[in-house]
Structure 1
């Protein structure tokens, strides 16, 4: 038997340690753990620092070198036999929503770490380096824009713009990166990528409903986020007649169902959501003088997403004219639909077939750092089911066997690209 055949046979039989992966997920989940079993670890908080320190410590224990760039993205590297080659990278994020779960983002980072640990266990070397990344402020729940770290990395927006972003308490990204000790030296983007894989829970019900273990992700829906502000006049709820009111809430209430109606006019991938609303002065006996709320529009086709945008802006213009109230619509985040590279998608398909897992294609309705990575390198994603399709929720859950399966697919897909020597 030739050496090449021996190596191929050895790697075909290779599997990750599912228990070690699960234990790492559960340990990381203790940082910011909530009473309902979830995680609250917002970007650039002290808890985020603790999570970062834990993962970086694990990487160093696995013999990896660590680089941090100026927006706080962390790259953990396992050397290849030809370190001049661009690394085959995997990763995700470890910041969470305010009511986050244990797996969103965290799974993708720790699955990458488990791949490295498995290669170490078996003494397997790759020609290209392997890197595991975690990106800053993917969630966008504390600072806007969403997917900030990967967005700055690929040039979607500037470092200065990201540094200036403020949370509700007026703290800036630049200040908070410095405070927690993760404002690195490397210029974002001065870090080559040969290929990028991201493993993730689906965050939807499709895989579970179809009873499939692996979702091959050919594309991600495009997204438009807006802040909409309706300005009226606050007044006493009792003495002010209905016909003389300038009620910002009633005008906002006309816009909210139109967001849903627009999405329903563009099936099957149209999405429309109002997820946040702030009412001023927020008193039960005062007519609202200002209402600010979010609008989230998505679709898998850029032309359809643009039509949805045009319908939204036209409706708001009509509503402002009819009501006489000021309505400001500001787009705060946008990325177009993202088809993934056929070679990376093909590597995921090949690994899934080799391992014998049930599979189907799933278009991602959620945004991921892989969208921005795809601007710089061939990229793709691997989905596994989550219980009842629930995510961005403290009860988010996934089966250990499914998480292990997704990590096995990641392992073999990365080895195809990094090449075993």
Structure 2
């Protein structure tokens, strides 16, 4: 494969990743670009500028998902989608999500150099609030777009400061338009020919095995809960220990029960990721303790059984199920295409199940979908030490580009 017109520009893709890393940069080397924040909006504006220089047309749907279309803007032809997300964790890394978006832009750069008659339209998809760090649940934008989560409920969700998704989306969109960016409307649940997403693995398997590309066959199932335990507030020095109704003590006991119970399920991964205590005063017994629980497993029967046990254990607490996503298999044809492309380039690959959930898990309900993983150092993600070697960035983007061109080729119809 030596055709320069089909080759990823190493300097360009690494340079654009570097530019994005400075938007929302933290002193520790990480990045904070929360969904629909001014920083994430700035990142979207930067991306749109690059894409419009190629002749792309920008679209936005009612939940804030962004689509950048190359070719056939006036055509009703279903496009091939390629993309990921630009939002991050509060202390995130410089590759999670954004790598897939910048690699998608590189696909369009390559395709713009080809005979436009050879391909059907291709669009970059930038999904809104994938991380769920500012607004719960995770993968909100893709879930709403596909119809897995009601638009009205999503718009009403608020962040820790009380600001709603609806208000934040209105501000973000207004900022883009104020910058002179035209945004056409995209209907929810629009039709697509296929979707492929490039992502860092967020685990250590590829690096440990010395494999260049992960070909994702499935996304394991996910259920997330918010659990609230009540107590009675009182003075920390005046109320005797015996007889106290300390919400945090009760919550810790419940967490210990959950640890013991869930630890018995082989292959299960479960995490308490957030704890809030009210009133939150150093000298006051907590009246309320709230925590989240994230549970994942690749077997739908196990996930269902675990969910029932959690709900039974939490019978005396206020339990809210935030999301339930069954394990998702990806399209066999796209899996095969990715493997064939990797083989053509002499890149080693292995099939694997994604431990993390992704927007692709929702989009699979709309069209044939697949994912490509590239190694990340130490399997580290969701913190400032997240890192993907430049060679792996370029190699992953090249496999992605050839996969998208294979799917979008007129001969593929």
TM range (shorter): over 0.9
The separation in 1 between residues aligned to 2:235 and 2:383, in whole angstroms, is 38
Q: CA deviation at 1:138?
A: 0.8
Aligned to 1:273: 271
- Secondary structure, counterpart of 1:37 in structure 2: coil
Q: Deviations over 1:37-73 (max 9, x none)?
A: 1111111111111111000001001221111112111
Aligned to 1:324: none
The separation in 1 between residues aligned to 2:150 and 2:319, in whole angstroms, is 23
Q: Does 2:99 align with 1:107?
A: yes
Say if 1:352 and 1:259 are closer, same or farther in 2 by CA, change over 3 A: farther
Say if 1:369 and 1:305 are closer, same or farther in 2 by CA, change over 3 A: same
Aligned to 2:369: 379
Q: Deviations over 1:345-367 (max 9, x none)?
A: 11111111111112112211111
Aligned to 2:282: 284
Q: CA deviation at 1:342?
A: 0.6
* Stretch of structure 1 that moved more, 247-256 or 278-287: 278-287
Say if 1:40 and 1:307 are closer, same or farther in 2 by CA, change over 3 A: same
Q: Does 2:155 align with 1:156?
A: no
Structure 2: 5+ residue stretches without partners: 177-182
Q: CA deviation at 1:285?
A: 3.1
Q: CA deviation at 1:82?
A: 11
Q: CA deviation at 1:187?
A: 5.0
Q: Does 2:327 align with 1:337?
A: yes
Aligned to 2:60: 68
- Superposition pairs for residues 50-69 of structure 1, below 5 Å? 50-69=42-61
Q: CA deviation at 1:123?
A: 5.1
| Residue in structure 2 matching 1:316, options 311, 314, 322 | 314
Q: CA deviation at 1:26?
A: 0.6
Structure 1: 5+ residue stretches without partners: 1-8, 321-326
The separation in 2 between residues aligned to 1:121 and 1:262, in whole angstroms, is 57
Q: CA deviation at 1:77?
A: 1.1
The separation in 2 between residues aligned to 1:13 and 1:121, in whole angstroms, is 6
Aligned to 1:196: 195
Aligned to 2:179: none
Q: Are 2:258 and 2:313, in contact at CA under 8 Å, matched by a contact in 1?
A: no
Aligned to 2:79: 87
Q: Are 1:80 and 1:127, in contact at CA under 8 Å, matched by a contact in 2?
A: no
- Secondary structure, counterpart of 1:286 in structure 2: coil
Q: CA deviation at 1:316?
A: 2.2
Q: Are 1:126 and 1:415, in contact at CA under 8 Å, matched by a contact in 2?
A: no
| Residue in structure 2 matching 1:140, options 116, 128, 132 | 132
* CA RMSD, 1 decimal: 2.1
- Superposition pairs for residues 1-400 of structure 1, below 5 Å? 14-79=6-71, 83-121=75-113, 125-181=117-173, 186=185, 188-189=187-188, 191-268=190-267, 270-317=268-315, 320=316, 327-400=317-390
Say if 1:343 and 1:145 are closer, same or farther in 2 by CA, change over 3 A: same
The separation in 1 between residues aligned to 2:73 and 2:42, in whole angstroms, is 33
The separation in 2 between residues aligned to 1:179 and 1:360, in whole angstroms, is 43
Q: CA deviation at 1:109?
A: 0.7
Q: Are 1:124 and 1:420, in contact at CA under 8 Å, matched by a contact in 2?
A: no
The separation in 2 between residues aligned to 1:103 and 1:10, in whole angstroms, is 27
Deviation >4 Å, runs of 4+: 9-13, 80-84, 122-125, 182-185
* Stretch of structure 1 that moved more, 349-358 or 72-81: 72-81
Say if 1:19 and 1:12 are closer, same or farther in 2 by CA, change over 3 A: closer
Q: CA deviation at 1:92?
A: 0.6
Q: Are 1:70 and 1:185, in contact at CA under 8 Å, matched by a contact in 2?
A: no
Q: Are 1:41 and 1:97, in contact at CA under 8 Å, matched by a contact in 2?
A: yes
Q: CA deviation at 1:166?
A: 1.0
The separation in 1 between residues aligned to 2:374 and 2:361, in whole angstroms, is 18
